[in-house]
Chains A and B, each alone.
Chain A
Amino acid sequence: MASEILLGKTVLISPFIGAVIVSILAFLHYSRGNKHEGHDSGKHDTHEEHTSIHYTRFENVVSTFGILSILVSWLSMVLLAINYLPGEEHETLQSQFGFFGFKEGGTPDIPFGLLIDPLSVYMGLIVTTLALLIHIYAREYMHGDAGYSRFFATFNFFTGVMLTLVFSTSFLELFIFWELVGLSSYLLIGFWFYKPAAAHAAKKAFLYNKIGDITLLAGFLMLYRYTRTLDFVELPAKMEALTDQQIAIVAVLIFGGVIGKSAQFPLYTWLADAMEGPTPVSAILHSSTMVKAGIYMVARVFFIYYEAHDGHNVFAGAEWALTVFAWIGAITALLAGLQALVENEIKRILAYSTVSQIGYMAIALGTGGKTAAMFHLLSHATFKALLFLTAGAVIHAVHTNNIWEMGGLRKKIPKTFWPMLIGATALAGFPGFSGFWSKDAVLLAAYESKVPGHLVIYYLGALTAFITALYSTRFIYVVFFRTPDPEHKEHVEKAHDGGFFLTTPSIILGVLVLIESILFIPVFNFEHWLNEILEPEVKPEAINYVVAGSSAIIVLLGIFVGLVLYHWKPELRTSLYNIDAFNWIANEFIAKRYRIDQVLYWIANAPVMWVAGILQSIDLKIIDRTIIDTWIVKGSLQLAKISDVFDQGFIDGIVNGVWQIFLYFGRQFRKLQTGLVSNYATIFAATLVLFLTYVNFLVLFK
């Protein structure tokens, strides 16, 4: 018990300690007067070598500490996971404290801490394993970059934040780390911040996420309103008391968060732009872990949609939300898949493929397949991380991102080719590979579910499977098999494999994909085991050979069509593009992201800026100038003028009059002062006489 909590804490804290150590190292390095190297290089995912021995030594120290901290985290995670092997008793552990420090009674405090249960352990294992491998990869990949230490600090920070998200125990904690992974995504996409495209992509990613975050915030605050708690352990019991309408509101709003973070239609375009970041970032944040946070969260709060005691009973209120979600997943899967088909940059192909695969997971969740979603999450995380790492190695080798500037690399970079082939095969869902089994589970969930229109969703999923096979074949063929164009022959000739740290992680991941492929064969009952630990209350679906068989056929068909179009009959492609309608759809519609960005611009960005401009002028011209300046200030001035006239005409008039009277008399009286003593004496005497006469009169006529 206690030791497990301690292990859990080690898992979370270790990456943060790594980030702090790296920051201190960087601080020491730069405060000793070492200049930032290669400041102004506007390079694009390629490396100008900064090979001063001093800097390389610094890089080695930094990356060693970065990797070590993740290694500690991974080891503790493995130790923790051993307790959750099949057959063990799976208990839910919680270690928490009140975040706000509210005292007992009254305001419910919101717990903060650690929730260890099979779901979080499962997800945590995926995150730590991938983080470890990709850290090792980044050690060589980022070599020579000016921001080497910054990269490792942020990367470690991300790992810690992501793990804490996975282990969070309340909605508030989840939300805090939910936004912090958004922050690390922002910082890592904008890693080469001097590139305007990167800066723009970073902002876009954060804002698109923010839209989802706000709906999520509203969603769980509504939940707080109804239940007065946000604790994942306490919540399931309280859900039964909610009305259908309340559940519907909460369910829909929470899906809003998933749409932003997990890049679902219509907010998925940020993910492709996010490829401006370094490749290791794409490999872990934007394919295998961060964008899965939405899926993970829905799995975590599945009790909102399905009654806790019986995983198959949908809450009546949530049914509509689930249907919408499944549909959004299906649409996203299809649209993004099509887009991957026409995209030319290798990382963007993989990005759209990621969106499309997450769409699958959304289908699974929407149709009630929590296990299927988590199953596909695992297999996709593994092979997509592998694909990104190898894609990075390809870019590293040929210094370009465009697949049409590559070709025939199979012989040049074998240590990259074979892992990538394994990854692509798994992605395509070639029968027997990991992707096949997990995709099959998703399609089965859609096929068997009771959601309205589930068969259409199933058909869309199957169509996407075809497209997936097609584009996987396309990019593998174009990159590795096609004869390169003459003008690009030069750099293709010079291509060579990366060093130890660049190739080993992809080889390990390739082996992992193969192991998974074997493990996932129904004979080994992996899915049943997963089902048992994740949602024991649900009885697993029996394997449906119709679904499995048809999807195998579809995939093989997709690969066949791909080979036809790109290998056997490439002229067929040319004639297809000669059809105007096809050309327009491919180049003008799909390749331009179905104009989603423009539409969003016109419905969101443009009106906001318009309103901002108008309000700005209202603020300046009306509130400040008209109301305040004209009405109040000018009004006061008018009043002042009137008072002024009154003041000068009347009040001043009185005052002036008085002094003028005195002045006049003074002028008259001063004539009396002659300076002649006799005059004064006369006046004195006369006055005396007058006075005495007066007194006499008083006495006489009393």
Chain B
Amino acid sequence: MVVPLEYFLILSSALFSIGVFGVITQRNAVRILIAVELIINAANINFVAFASYNPVGDISGWIFALFIIAVAAGEAAIGLAIFINVFRNYGEIDVGHLFTLREV
């Protein structure tokens, strides 16, 4: 059975929407990070799906997906490091309380 492309796209859209919802609504930084990972993976699904359904057989979509995974790993590492530092300095990682860059 051939799964149609639309299913993958719907999945990725759902994942993306959940991710965006998470980023907007969550106040815990780790949760936001997880939501961002969801968004990234939504994009990954799209890349891989389009690459599989490509009639020419171009594999650049897969390569992009690999790059994104690597970059996402790095991003997660740096993000976590930042949060650890934030936690050390402020004792919490609630982004609702971290507004020192706010316009006074």
Chain A residues engaging chain B, CB cutoff 8 angstroms: 670-678, 681-682, 685
**If A678-B25, A678-B27, A682-B24 touch, does A671 touch B95 (CB 8 Å cutoff)?**
no
Work out how many contacts link A and B, with CB atoms closer than 8 A: 36
Question: Which residues of chain A have C-beta atoms less than 8 A from B102's C-beta?
Answer: 673-676
User: Sorted from nearest, which 8 A-B pairs have the closest CB atoms?
Assistant: A675-B102, A675-B99, A673-B103, A670-B103, A677-B95, A675-B101, A681-B23, A682-B24
- Which of B23, B26, B27 has the most C-beta atoms of chain A within 10 angstroms of its own C-beta? B23
Q: Is B96 an interface residue (CB 8 A)?
A: yes
Judging by beta carbons under 8 Å apart, are B20 and A685 in contact?
yes
Judging by beta carbons under 8 Å apart, are B101 and A681 in contact?
no
Q: A675-B100, A685-B23 are in contact. List 6 more A-B contacts (CB 8 A).
A: A672-B103, A675-B98, A676-B96, A676-B102, A678-B24, A678-B27
Cα separation A673 to B102 with both chains bound (whole Å): 6
The digit string for B88-104, where 1 denotes a CB below 8 A from any CB of A, is 00000001101111110
Q: Is B32 an interface residue (CB 8 A)?
A: yes
For B97, the closest partner residue in chain A by CB is A676
Question: Which residues of chain B have C-beta atoms less than 8 A from A675's C-beta?
Answer: 98-103
The digit string for B67-104, where 1 denotes a CB below 8 A from any CB of A, is 00000000000000000000000000001101111110
Chain B residues engaging chain A, CB cutoff 8 angstroms: 20, 23-27, 32, 95-96, 98-103
Judging by beta carbons under 8 Å apart, are B103 and A676 in contact?
no
For B32, the closest partner residue in chain A by CB is A677
Question: Which residues of chain A have C-beta atoms less than 8 A from B95's C-beta?
Answer: 676-678
For A689, the closest partner residue in chain B by CB is B20
25 contacts between A and B (CB under 8 A): A670-B103, A671-B103, A672-B103, A673-B101, A673-B103, A674-B102, A675-B98, A675-B99, A675-B100, A675-B101, A675-B102, A675-B103, A676-B95, A676-B96, A676-B99, A676-B102, A677-B32, A677-B95, A678-B27, A678-B95, A678-B96, A681-B23, A681-B24, A685-B20, A685-B23
Cα separation A364 to B24 with both chains bound (whole Å): 132
Cα separation A678 to B20 with both chains bound (whole Å): 10
Cα separation A17 to B96 with both chains bound (whole Å): 112
For B27, the closest partner residue in chain A by CB is A678
For B25, the closest partner residue in chain A by CB is A678
Judging by beta carbons under 8 Å apart, are B25 and A674 in contact?
no
Cα separation A674 to B103 with both chains bound (whole Å): 6
For A669, the closest partner residue in chain B by CB is B103
For A677, the closest partner residue in chain B by CB is B95
Question: Which residues of chain B have C-beta atoms less than 8 A from A671's C-beta?
Answer: 103
CB of B35 to closest CB in A, whole Å: 9
Question: Which residues of chain B have C-beta atoms less than 8 A from A676's C-beta?
Answer: 95-96, 99, 102
Cα separation A674 to B96 with both chains bound (whole Å): 10
Question: Which residues of chain A have C-beta atoms less than 8 A from B24's C-beta?
Answer: 678, 681-682, 685
CB of B104 to closest CB in A, whole Å: 9
- Which of A670, A671, A675, A685 has the most C-beta atoms of chain B within 10 angstroms of its own C-beta? A675
Question: Which residues of chain B have C-beta atoms less than 8 A from A678's C-beta?
Answer: 23-27, 95-96
Question: Which residues of chain A have C-beta atoms less than 8 A from B27's C-beta?
Answer: 678
For B36, the closest partner residue in chain A by CB is A681
Cα separation A451 to B59 with both chains bound (whole Å): 138
Cα separation A672 to B101 with both chains bound (whole Å): 12
CB of A241 to closest CB in B, whole Å: 105
Cα separation A561 to B103 with both chains bound (whole Å): 126
For B22, the closest partner residue in chain A by CB is A681
CB of A683 to closest CB in B, whole Å: 10
Question: Which residues of chain A have C-beta atoms less than 8 A from B98's C-beta?
Answer: 675, 677
CB of A17 to closest CB in B, whole Å: 99
For B20, the closest partner residue in chain A by CB is A685
Cα separation A485 to B104 with both chains bound (whole Å): 117
Question: Which residues of chain B have C-beta atoms less than 8 A from A670's C-beta?
Answer: 103
For A667, the closest partner residue in chain B by CB is B103
Cα separation A675 to B99 with both chains bound (whole Å): 4
Cα separation A678 to B32 with both chains bound (whole Å): 9
CB of B8 to closest CB in A, whole Å: 19
Question: Which residues of chain A have C-beta atoms less than 8 A from B32's C-beta?
Answer: 677
Cα separation A676 to B27 with both chains bound (whole Å): 10
Cα separation A671 to B103 with both chains bound (whole Å): 7
CB of B72 to closest CB in A, whole Å: 18
Question: Which residues of chain A have C-beta atoms less than 8 A from B23's C-beta?
Answer: 678, 681, 685
CB of B38 to closest CB in A, whole Å: 13
Cα separation A81 to B103 with both chains bound (whole Å): 116
Cα separation A537 to B100 with both chains bound (whole Å): 126
Cα separation A675 to B96 with both chains bound (whole Å): 9
Question: Which residues of chain A have C-beta atoms less than 8 A from B99's C-beta?
Answer: 674-676
Cα separation A685 to B21 with both chains bound (whole Å): 9
For B102, the closest partner residue in chain A by CB is A675
Question: Which residues of chain B have C-beta atoms less than 8 A from A685's C-beta?
Answer: 20, 23-24
For B100, the closest partner residue in chain A by CB is A675
Cα separation A685 to B103 with both chains bound (whole Å): 21
Question: Which residues of chain B have C-beta atoms less than 8 A from A674's C-beta?
Answer: 99, 102-103
CB of B78 to closest CB in A, whole Å: 16
Cα separation A673 to B27 with both chains bound (whole Å): 17
- Which of B20, B24, B96, B99 has the most C-beta atoms of chain A within 10 angstroms of its own C-beta? B24
For A678, the closest partner residue in chain B by CB is B24
Cα separation A579 to B95 with both chains bound (whole Å): 134
CB of A684 to closest CB in B, whole Å: 9
Cα separation A674 to B98 with both chains bound (whole Å): 10
Cα separation A681 to B33 with both chains bound (whole Å): 13
CB of A696 to closest CB in B, whole Å: 14
Cα separation A671 to B27 with both chains bound (whole Å): 21
CB of B16 to closest CB in A, whole Å: 10
Question: Which residues of chain B have C-beta atoms less than 8 A from A681's C-beta?
Answer: 20, 23-24
Question: Which residues of chain B have C-beta atoms less than 8 A from A682's C-beta?
Answer: 24
For A670, the closest partner residue in chain B by CB is B103
For B35, the closest partner residue in chain A by CB is A681
Cα separation A601 to B102 with both chains bound (whole Å): 94
Cα separation A673 to B103 with both chains bound (whole Å): 6
For A679, the closest partner residue in chain B by CB is B24
Cα separation A678 to B96 with both chains bound (whole Å): 8
Cα separation A681 to B36 with both chains bound (whole Å): 11
Question: Which residues of chain A have C-beta atoms less than 8 A from B101's C-beta?
Answer: 673, 675
Cα separation A247 to B2 with both chains bound (whole Å): 137
Cα separation A512 to B5 with both chains bound (whole Å): 152
CB of A101 to closest CB in B, whole Å: 88
For A671, the closest partner residue in chain B by CB is B103
Cα separation A676 to B96 with both chains bound (whole Å): 6
CB of B22 to closest CB in A, whole Å: 10
Cα separation A677 to B29 with both chains bound (whole Å): 10
Cα separation A682 to B96 with both chains bound (whole Å): 14
Question: Which residues of chain B have C-beta atoms less than 8 A from A677's C-beta?
Answer: 32, 95, 98
